[in-house]
Amino acid sequence: MHPSRRNVESWTKTLEKLLKGDLKMVQCRICHEEDLDSNMESPCSCSGSLKYAHRKCVQRWCNEKGDTTCEICHQVLFSRSSS
């Protein structure tokens, strides 16, 4: 299966933005996968390398531990506007 022209153009634009510094890659604090910062959430007041996580990772984490409070900053996750 070959990628469509639209997909190639989209990836090309994304790569150009990354190279120019318009986009940045960050690591999910839960699954440790790298992703574009625009695909991540900032679910609490943590900053630095602990700032970003995938929403699905945070939701799974909360379901597994049975709590919605960040263990580091003690804020309720997603209680403020996420970025």
Top CATH class of 23-82 equals: alpha beta
- Amino acid at the residue 46: C
**pLDDT per position as a tens digit, 14-48:** 677 767 767 789 999 999 999 999 899 999 999 99
Q: What pTM does this model have?
A: 0.69
Stretch 59-73: mean pLDDT:
95
Task: Go through 39-66 and write b for each residue having 16 or more CB atoms within 10 A of its CB, e for each that does not.
Answer: ebbbbbebeeeebbbbeebbbebbeeee
* Coil/strand/helix, residue 15: helix
Q: Which residue has the higher pLDDT, 72 or 1?
A: 72
Q: How confident is the model at residue 83 (pLDDT cuts 50, 70, 90)?
A: very low
